């Protein structure tokens, strides 16, 4: 019975730890997720890239998340292989620093974090404040889970079972290494796995030697996580995770044999305690970063040969992707609605491909680049035509009233997406051309304001796609709040711009019309994107007491 109680307590503490780590990462991603691409893909040296990876890992609470983000950008051509690998290696060191911070005795901080975080998350509506509350509560839950973990180990610390297992792992360091690797991979979090090992050593449930082998194994196992998660991507996207695995795995094995030999010979003295284990973990990752940075560029050629770019197809590709809709072939209502959502997702991706390079067009867009973006609007228009024809031909006798209303609401969103594409092609792209033709540049403050709005809208586009696919009410509510946040950003930027004009800022005066029109266009674009949330919010009574409810009720009556 004691063993069963121990296993249940251990599982509960572990799940709370995993949930808390994810909670912190979610809060940070929702607040600053759109900024990551700009930070990751900026021009930087290997050392600067490593430092950027370190900071992002601390922010995201996960080196695996940094590796996946980096792989995606590298595969899309936004990031070179050497810089991407340096970012991932820096992320591993950042993950080790998180463990250093969380390994301190911070139980006194839990009530403060819960009180402040809970107030911000429950009582405030501002996006940044709510997500800050989520982050603070997540950190509190991490500290609570570590306390639970220590308490779960107390009853069996003096049993005959634990010393036997601990002694075996201390003697058979290869088994301990494999167990640590499996633990990190199964938990899908090196932070959680290593915190668990450190806690076991802190309470003397495991000797230092066994803990060190487990931690080295967890470092090795954590490198498998991005490899596993990127298994469905194309070959170029998998180069960086495999390179990281090769470097991290090789160094972990070398350190495993070297450290255990040194411990047996007494060359390291008699290290004890969890803090010494955290220091060893930090030393492992810092040394790996220092040793690997010089070989990032040579490894690029090697892994380009191991994971080559796909050979160009000799088959002539059609001018545009094949539509998910087949007029006249509807099948069941559920299948027809699924096809509509697939086509809308394709249309949303196309609009996103138009909107994403807008800032580049403003900075140094050529006429050819601007025309290329504008030409993409033809595909968006074709998608709308297909969706309109498909919905118009739906056999009403085969669909009930709710299913027809859903199909029509999806068509309405397609119209909003097409209008969003027009905003890019006919307004933002034209404004970018005017800015470059007149050789004008925004003020530093004005450009930063536009950049932040662009990043926020990119994040909202991803959120809108999630709402479209999942019909998740919480995501729809968040998207509605984000729409309000973009409106606030536009209003604040306009006020600051006018103040700069009053202060005689020459750059602001020269670009005033373009700046103000860009703000209006960005706000309008975001409004069209966020429209996917309205039907779902209305169905769940979340739009009562608003002007919009009357419009939707009128549509129902029609």
List per-residue pLDDT tens for the chain, 558 residues long. Answer: 566 776 787 778 778 877 776 777 677 666 665 555 556 555 567 788 888 888 877 766 667 777 877 776 676 666 778 888 888 899 889 888 888 877 777 777 889 989 998 998 888 766 678 888 888 888 888 778 777 766 776 665 556 556 667 777 777 889 889 988 988 887 777 777 888 788 778 877 788 888 899 999 999 998 988 888 777 666 777 888 899 999 999 999 999 999 888 888 888 777 887 788 888 999 999 999 999 988 888 888 888 888 776 654 444 344 445 565 655 566 677 788 888 888 888 889 899 989 988 988 998 888 888 999 999 998 898 888 888 888 877 777 777 788 888 888 888 999 999 999 999 999 999 999 988 888 888 888 888 889 888 888 888 888 888 888 888 888 888 888 888 888 988 999 999 888 888 887 777 788 888 989 999 999 999 999 999 888 888 887 766 544 444 444 444 444
Phi/psi-derived region of residue 96, left when phi > 0, alpha when psi is between -120 and 50, beta in every other case: alpha
Measured distance CA(394)–CA(409) in Å, rounded:
14
Question: What pLDDT digit, counting tens, does each position of 73-96 carry?
Answer: 676 666 778 888 888 899 889 888
- From 205, 208, 195, select the one nearest 161 (Cα to Cα): 205
Angle (nearest 5°) at CA 409 between 470 and 556? 120
Measured distance CA(128)–CA(269) in Å, rounded:
49
Measured distance CA(282)–CA(239) in Å, rounded:
25
Sign of CA dihedral 241, 247, 253, 255: negative
- The answer to whether 149 and 199 have CB atoms below 8 angstroms apart is yes
Phi, psi of 443 (to 5 degrees): -65, 160
Measured distance CA(183)–CA(277) in Å, rounded:
17
Q: Which helix (H) or strand (E) holds 250?
A: helix 239-265
Residue 429 has which token pair? 């792209």
Measured distance CA(417)–CA(344) in Å, rounded:
9
Measured distance CA(82)–CA(296) in Å, rounded:
5
- The answer to whether 239 and 74 have CB atoms below 8 angstroms apart is yes
Question: What pLDDT digit, counting tens, does each position of 135-157 carry?
Answer: 888 888 877 877 776 677 666 55
Measured distance CA(448)–CA(303) in Å, rounded:
37
Full-model pTM: 0.59
In 354-394, the DSSP E strands lie at: none
Q: How many helices (H) and strands (E) does the chain have?
A: 26, 0
In this structure, what is the dihedral angle of CA atoms 347, 348, 349, 350, given to the nearest 10 degrees?
50
Residue 103 has which token pair? 């390994």
Phi/psi-derived region of residue 188, left when phi > 0, alpha when psi is between -120 and 50, beta in every other case: left
Report the length, in residues, of the chain. 558
Placement of tokens 């296993």 in the chain: 7
Residue 304 has which token pair? 């380009």
Measured distance CA(192)–CA(85) in Å, rounded:
23
Neighbour-count burial for 296-312, b at 16+ CB within 10 Å, e otherwise: beebbeebeeebeeeee
Measured distance CA(462)–CA(465) in Å, rounded:
5
């Amino acid at each position: 019975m004691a063993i069963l109680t121990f296993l249940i307590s251990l599982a509960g503490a572990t799940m709370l730890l995993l949930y808390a780590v994810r909670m912190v990462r979610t809060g940070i991603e929702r607040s600053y997720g759109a900024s990551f691409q700009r930070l990751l893909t900026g021009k930087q040296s290997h050392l600067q890239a490593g430092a950027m990876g370190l900071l992002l890992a601390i922010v995201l609470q996960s080196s695996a998340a940094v590796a996946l983000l980096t792989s995606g950008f590298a595969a899309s051509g936004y990031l070179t292989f050497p810089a991407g690998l340096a970012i991932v290696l820096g992320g591993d060191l950042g993950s080790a620093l998180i463990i250093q911070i969380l390994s301190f005795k911070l139980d006194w901080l839990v009530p403060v974090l819960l009180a402040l975080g809970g107030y911000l998350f429950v009582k405030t509506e501002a996006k940044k404040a709510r997500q800050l509350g989520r982050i603070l509560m997540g950190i509190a839950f991490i500290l609570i889970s570590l306390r639970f973990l220590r308490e779960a180990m107390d009853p069996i610390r003096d049993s005959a079972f634990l010393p036997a297992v601990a002694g075996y792992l201390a003697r058979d360091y290869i088994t301990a290494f494999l167990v640590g690797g499996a633990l990190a991979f199964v938990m899908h979090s090196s932070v959680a796995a290593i915190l668990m090992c450190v806690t076991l050593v802190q309470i003397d449930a495991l000797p230092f030697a066994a803990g060190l082998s487990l931690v080295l194994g967890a470092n090795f196992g954590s490198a498998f996580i991005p490899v596993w998660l990127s298994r469905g991507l194309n070959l170029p996207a998998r180069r960086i995770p495999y390179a990281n695995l090769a470097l991290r795995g090789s160094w972990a094995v070398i350190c495993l044999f070297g450290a255990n030999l040194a411990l047996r010979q007494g060359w390291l003295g008699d290290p004890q305690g969890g803090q010494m284990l955290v220091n060893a973990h930090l030393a492992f990752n810092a040394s790996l970063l220092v040793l690997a940075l010089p070989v990032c560029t040579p490894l690029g050629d090697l892994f380009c040969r191991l994971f080559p770019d796909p050979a160009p197809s000799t088959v002539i590709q059609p001018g545009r992707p094949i539509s998910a809709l087949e007029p006249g072939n509807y099948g069941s209502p559920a299948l027809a609605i699924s096809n509509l959502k697939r086509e809308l997702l394709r249309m949303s991706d196309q609009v996103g491909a138009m909107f994403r390079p807008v800032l580049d067009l403003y900075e140094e867009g050529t006429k050819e680049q601007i025309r290329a973006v504008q030409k993409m609007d033809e595909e968006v228009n074709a998608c709308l035509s297909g969706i309109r024809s498909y919905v118009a031909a739906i056999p009403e006798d085969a669909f009930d009233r709710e299913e027809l209303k859903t199909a029509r609401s999806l068509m309405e969103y397609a119209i909003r997406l097409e209008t969003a594409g027009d905003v890019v092609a006919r307004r933002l792209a034209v404004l970018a051309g005017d800015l470059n033709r007149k050789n004008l540049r925004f003020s530093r403050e004005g450009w930063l304001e536009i950049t932040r709005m662009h990043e926020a809208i990119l994040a909202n586009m991803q959120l809108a796609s999630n709402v479209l696919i999942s019909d998740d009410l919480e995501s729809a509510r968040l998207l509605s709040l984000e729409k309000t946040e973009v409106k606030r950003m536009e209003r604040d930027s306009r006020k600051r711009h006018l103040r700069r004009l009053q202060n005689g800022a020459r750059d602001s005066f020269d670009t005033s019309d373009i700046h103000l029109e860009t703000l209006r266009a960005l706000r309008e674009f975001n409004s069209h994107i966020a429209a996917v949330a309205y039907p779902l919010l209305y169905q769940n009574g979340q739009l009562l007491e608003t002007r919009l409810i009357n419009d939707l009720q009128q549509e129902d009556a029609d």
